């Protein structure tokens, strides 16, 4: 990639999972003085409301099957905007470096000679379960947690996830982007040694006012999703920590 003369700097900013109160102080201050903000589809309206009203706002949102801007196009846009403006914010849901392609964008910008800084955000895989009353680790229940993509395919985050190794190696499993593949994932985890009775929770739009939860087991959850017409975006939590929802779930986080 050709080197460029950048006037400004790009900030890869984590928006958190949706509740505006979970935006970092550093992130909020940047949004308030940004010249340009290029944001993803999952960033909540309450966070977008923090953006400097004078700033140029561009939706680079990507949802399953709806790529409003391809990755290369987004990177080219960031480079272009950094040549024209001082503060360019690339606003991503959750944390930019957790299934957010933040590392790829940062690498491209560095190679192009554009100054870039990452500002972490709270990832959905911790915050959504927390608001549902599910700690991802808990003494006596789970001392390990794995964050994994359920969106496995050639060209995606991971060509093939080793669900058997994950079933054996981690007491809590938090799955991002897994709703579409849930029949495959729940079968693979059971083939990998987990009991059909293993609890699983799905949390949709976690930390937002419209948060919804579905609790079941590896054996039942696929039918429950169909019956409830439960839709993405959601994280799935697998493991005994889900049992804590009964005690910790009432009004937690909200």
Ligand X SMILES: C[S@@+](CC[C@H](N)C(=O)[O-])C[C@H]1O[C@@H](n2cnc3c(N)ncnc32)[C@H](O)[C@@H]1O
- Given 1, 188, 232, 248, the residue binding ligand X (CB under 6 A): 232
For residue 23, which phi and psi values (nearest 5 degrees)?
-75, 140
Active site residue 50: no
Active site residue 26: no
Contact call for residue 185 and ligand X (CB under 6 A): no
Site pattern 42..61 for ligand X (x: CB under 6 A) = x-------------------
Q: Which residues pair with 66 in a beta bridge?
A: 63
- Given 123, 186, 198, 245, the residue binding ligand X (CB under 6 A): 123
Q: Roughly what angle, to the nearest 10 degrees, separates helices 71-84 and 102-111?
A: 50
Q: What sign does the dihedral 51-231-195-188 (CA atoms) show?
A: negative
Q: Which residues pair with 175 in a beta bridge?
A: 148, 236
Tokens describing residue 113: 């000679």
- Given 43, 79, 235, 238, the residue binding ligand X (CB under 6 A): 235
- Given 6, 35, 95, 213, the residue binding ligand X (CB under 6 A): 95
Q: Cα separation of 150 and 187, whole Å? A: 13
Tokens describing residue 176: 């991002």
Active site residue 72: no
Shortest Å, Cβ 224 to ligand X = 17
Contact segment (CB under 6 A) with ligand X among 48-56, 164-172, 213-221, 231-239 equals 231-239
Tokens describing residue 90: 């690339």
Active site residues: 40, 62, 177
């Amino acid at each position: 990639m050709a080197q460029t003369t950048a006037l400004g700097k790009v900030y890869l900013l984590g928006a958190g999972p949706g509740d505006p109160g979970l935006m970092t102080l550093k992130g909020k201050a940047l949004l308030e003085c940004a010249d340009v903000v290029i944001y993803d589809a999952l960033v909540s309206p309450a966070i977008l409301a923090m953006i400097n009203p004078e700033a140029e706002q561009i939706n680079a949102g990507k949802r399953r099957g709806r790529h409003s801007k391809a990755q290369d196009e987004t990177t080219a846009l960031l480079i272009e905007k950094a040549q024209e403006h001082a503060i360019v914010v690339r606003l991503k849901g959750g944390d930019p470096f957790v299934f957010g392609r933040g590392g790829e964008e940062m690498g491209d910008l560095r190679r192009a000679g554009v100054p870039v800084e990452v500002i972490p955000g709270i990832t959905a895989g911790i915050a959504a379960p927390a608001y549902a009353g599910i700690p991802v680790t808990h003494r006596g229940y789970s001392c390990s947690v794995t964050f994994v993509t359920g969106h496995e395919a050639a060209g995606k985050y991971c060509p093939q996830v080793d669900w058997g190794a994950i079933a054996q190696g981690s007491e809590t499993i938090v799955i991002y982007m897994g709703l579409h593949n849930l029949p495959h994932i729940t079968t693979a985890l059971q083939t990998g040694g987990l009991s059909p009775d293993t609890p699983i929770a799905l949390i949709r739009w976690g930390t937002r006012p419209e948060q919804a939860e579905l609790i079941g087991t590896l054996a039942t959850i696929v039918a429950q999703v169909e019956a409830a017409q439960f839709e993405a975006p959601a994280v799935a939590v697998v493991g005994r920590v889900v049992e804590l929802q009964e005690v910790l779930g009432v009004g937690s986080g909200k």
